[in-house]
A and B are shown apart, each in its own frame.
Chain A
Amino acid sequence: MKGRTAIMFITLATLSALLLLVDIGAGTVKLSIGEVADALTGRCDNPAISKIVIDIRLTKGIVAMIAGIALSVSGLQMQTLFRNPLAGPYVLGVSSGASLAVALFILGAPLAGGVTGTAASIGMTGAALVGSGIVLALIALAGRRIKDIMVVLILGMMISSGISAIVQILQYMSNDEALKSFVIWTMGSLGNVTGEQLPVFAGTISAGLVLAVATIKPLNLLLLGEEYAVTMGYDRRRSRTMVLVSTALLAGGVTAFCGPIGFIGLALPHVARMIFKTADHRILIPGAALTGTAVMLGCDIVSKLFVVPINAVTALAGIPIVVWVVFRNRQIAV
């Protein structure tokens, strides 16, 4: 690894650590970085502050980091697989599959006698996981039979649009209360993951990341296009399936636990390419993960300061990033 790359990694890691402390400090009860550090190291005398920091805010901060890592890495995979700079984690309908399942759950729950509190949150998470899993399984199966990767992309986008239309019909037919809870789900939230759920969330994302790391070499070959990749030893079926399963776990996992969080997965791979000035996935995967961590923490801080939904912040932060990258490079590079 070159010196510059190492310096960028260290800088991003330090920045992420600092942002985590600031993120934990931000909220209705404002805490200084010193107080946060004391609470984290167990030197805090005030049990209330200690509880806020460790039980609630640290969990949320970790969720933000995991979500940032997962979305950036899966966005990178999709951009390389489809050789398309505008691809992102949701391009194949992960989020629309999840939203259909969540919509069905929210609208169906009152019929089943009403589900509230923890049961509702677990139900929504489960529904989203199942929904995104089914959509990606369908696309992965199709991808084993279809040769041209562009056909797979178009198929994914059409499935995604079709599902969105069905979700619209459901929304139109639902009552005010159900509609509101659905709309709030689509705005995303990093605060719904409890301490008990965190290991499940972290486990899902870790499994996706292991698969992502295992596809580093095929992803590098894909930079030349699938045809060249095949003549250089790329196993089309195996690698495609691995990438799609990885994205199902990463993007599906985030959507299930935090709702559909937009733009991070689209914008951050470009930022990573620009920071590290490379196309090599051995550097880009950890690079995108770290960049994602820092930006997601930043977005969470902003969302707390102005008390606005996380999805609005990621979009407002992500759009200028994409525009900036386009203008800087004149051509977006994948």
Chain B
Amino acid sequence: MIELRNVSTGYGSRELVKNADALFAPSTLTALTGRNGSGKSTLLRAIAGLGKITSGDIVVDGKTRFSSAAERARSIAFVNTQRVRIANMRCRDLVGLGRAPYTDWAGRLSDHDNNIVEGALATVGMSEYSSRSLDTMSDGECQRVMIARALAQDTPNILLDEPTSFLDLPNRYQLMELLGKLAHEQGKTILLSTHELDIALACADNIALIDTPELKLLPASEQSTRQTVAECFGIGRL
């Protein structure tokens, strides 16, 4: 569960989001959307602990502060668009790194950890790629493996920054379906940023729309939401 209380974000002196209040509840998939430069990534990164907000509180599972990076990593997992192509590293090892917040000083995986890793790969449909080296895989496949890594991190909250951007249309829908399933079946709070309004409206439970400087949380299924989103993007209708 992620709660924003009176949160403002900005770049230097430029204010992007002002006094936002929102609750991202468990078992929901929320698509964070807005025009370019509206501060989607800034907000997402702040929740992930990679950036700062100018004022307000971000409450994750009831906490406003974490005592260590490892404690935060047991609460929130993060996936971005950065291409990860590490030569000589197998998918399974990459997903295994997701267990880092739980493993010993050397990062050794127990049988329990290994089961979680296999489970995460199976969930994203990449079990067959387990022993493949990352530098021999396509963008879409790497993206899935990175999501499996986030799953192995076994956190109640998952944040994804533009997860659909490298994928073709069928893969985009597949990915969104997968994320929806994870939210609904495993009770996770999933928040992702995206430009793709049609996919967001079709697959997400809620739309978090940054209508600068406001953040509006709208149910994706309601007709009025389409209208609000369309107006924000300055287009006639969706």
Cβ-based interface call for A216 (8 A):
yes
A residues near B82, Cβ cutoff 8 Å: 225, 227-228
Q: Determine whether the beta carbon of B80 is less than 8 Å from that of A233.
A: no
Between B49, B77, B84, B88, the greatest number of chain A beta carbons within 10 A of the residue's beta carbon is seen for B88
Q: Which of B65-101 contact A (CB under 8 A)?
A: 68-70, 72-74, 76-78, 80, 82, 84, 86-89, 93-94, 97-98, 100-101
Q: How distant is A225 from chain B, measured CB to nearest CB, in Å?
A: 6
Q: Is A235's beta carbon under 8 Å from chain B?
A: yes
* In the assembled complex, B48 has its CB within 8 A of some CB on chain A: yes
Check A279–B88 contact: CB distance below 8 A.
Answer: yes
Interface string of B100-126 (1 = CB under 8 A from A): 110101111000000000000000000
Contact B153 A223 (CB under 8 A): no
Q: Which residue of B lies closest to A231 (CB)?
A: B78
Asked if B211 is an interface residue, CB under 8 A from chain A, the answer is no
Please provide the chain A residues from 217 to 231 with a CB less than 8 Å away from any CB of chain B in the complex.
217, 220-221, 223-225, 227-228, 230-231
User: In the assembled complex, which residues on chain A have CB atoms less than 8 Å from the CB atom of B103?
Assistant: 217
Q: Which residue of B50, B93, B100 contacts A233 across the interface (Cβ within 8 Å)?
A: B100
Write out, one digit per residue, whether chain A residues 270-305 have a CB within 8 A of any chain B CB (1) or not (0): 000100011110100000000000000000000000
Q: Chain A contact residues (Cβ within 8 angstroms of B): what range?
A: 20 to 34
Q: How far is the CA of A331 from the CA of B84 in the complex (A)?
A: 14
Complex CA distance for A277 and B86, rounded to whole angstroms: 12
Query: At the interface, yes or no: B57 with Cβ under 8 Å from chain A?
Result: no
Report whether A277 and B88 are in contact in the complex, using a CB–CB cutoff of 8 Å.
Answer: yes
Task: Check A232–B97 contact: CB distance below 8 A.
Answer: yes
A98, B72: Cα distance in complex, Å: 40
Kindly state the separation between the CA atoms of A273 and B89 in the bound complex, as whole angstroms. 10
Q: Are A231 and B87 in contact, with the CB atoms below 8 A?
A: no
A164 to B82, CA, bound (A): 36
Q: Are B88 and A221 in contact (CB under 8 A)?
A: no
Q: How far is the CB of B89 from chain A (nearest CB, A)?
A: 4
Return the CB mask of A189-224 against B: 1 if under 8 Å, else 0. 000000000000000000000000010110011011
Task: Among B87, B94, B98, B107, point to the contact of A282 (Cβ < 8 A).
Answer: B107
A217 pairs with B49, CB closer than 8 A: no
How many residue-residue contacts, CB under 8 A, span A and B? 84
B135 contacts the other chain (Cβ, under 8 Å)? yes
The residue on A at minimum CB distance from B153 is A232
On whether the beta carbons of A278 and B98 are closer than 8 Å, the reply is no
Q: Tell me, yes or no, whether A329 is within 8 Å of chain B by CB.
A: yes
Q: Is the CB of A216 within 8 A of B107?
A: yes
**Alpha-carbon distance A216/B98, docked complex (angstroms):** 15
Q: B137 → chain A, closest Cβ, in Å?
A: 14
Interface pair B78/A228, CB less than 8 Å apart: yes
State whether the Cβ of A234 lies closer than 8 Å to any Cβ in chain B: yes
Known A233-B72, A235-B68, A282-B107: A333·B100 in contact at CB below 8 Å = no
Q: How far is the CB of A275 from chain B (nearest CB, A)?
A: 11
Q: A223 touches which one: B49, B69, B77, B89 (CB < 8 A)?
A: B89
Residues of A within 8 A of B101 (CB): 232-233
The residue from A230, A231, A236, A279 contacting B86, defined by CB atoms under 8 A apart:
A279
Report A219-260 CB contacts with B as 1/0, cut-off 8 Å.
011011101101111111000000000000000000000000
Q: Is the CB of A217 within 8 A of B50?
A: no
In whole Å, how far is A14's beta carbon from the nearest beta carbon of chain B? 24
- Give the residue of B76, B84, B106, B135 whose beta carbon is less than 8 angstroms from that of A231: B76
Give bound CA distance, A223 to B107, whole Å: 14
* Given contacts A235-B68, A282-B107, A220 and B97 within 8 Å (CB-CB): yes
Bound complex: CA of A181 vs CA of B70, how far in Å?
51
CB distance from A282 to the nearest CB of B (A): 6
Shortest C-beta distance, B24 to chain A (Å), equals 17
Interface string of B125-159 (1 = CB under 8 A from A): 00000000001000000000000000001000000
A interface residues (Cβ-Cβ under 8 A, vs B): 214, 216-217, 220-221, 223-225, 227-228, 230-236, 273, 277-280, 282, 329, 331, 333-334
Give 15 A-B pairs besides A233-B73, A282-B107 with Cβ atoms closer than 8 angstroms: A217-B107, A220-B97, A224-B84, A227-B50, A228-B84, A232-B101, A232-B153, A233-B69, A233-B70, A234-B69, A273-B88, A278-B89, A279-B86, A279-B93, A282-B108
Q: What would be 10 A-B contacts, judged by CB atoms less than 8 Å apart?
A: A216-B107, A221-B100, A228-B82, A230-B69, A231-B49, A233-B70, A279-B86, A279-B93, A331-B87, A333-B87
The 4 residue pairs across chains A and B that have the minimum distance between CB atoms: A333-B87, A233-B73, A233-B70, A231-B78
